[in-house]
Amino acid sequence: MAITLRVEDDASRRLVTEFMPMVRDRVLKVLAAQDPSRIQSAEGREELVIALTDSLRSSYDPSPATPRISDVLFTAFVIQ
């Protein structure tokens, strides 16, 4: 699976870039919690986008700032 994040401003881009290991960790945790049969449907993928967006919009310790993520886009999606 490949994901692209669309952010609303440069500050959000810098924040996501600076905390990329934590971003990846959050993405993997959300993905690991998914039921493969559920995300095969369009509705399931939309719920996954919402879960990822919510998780990634939270602050990254020690920074109190939160990134302004406008969209999570799947650029590759394979379910095994």
**Domain residues of the chain, as ranges?**
2-76
**pLDDT, mean over the chain:** 93
The one-digit pLDDT tens for each residue of the chain (80 residues) are: 789 999 999 999 999 999 999 999 999 999 999 998 999 899 999 999 999 999 999 999 998 999 999 999 988 877 66
C-alpha distance from residue 57 to each of 1, 15, 45, 46, 78 (Å): 20, 11, 18, 16, 25
pTM of the model: 0.88
* Cα distance between residue 80 and residue 73, in whole Å: 20
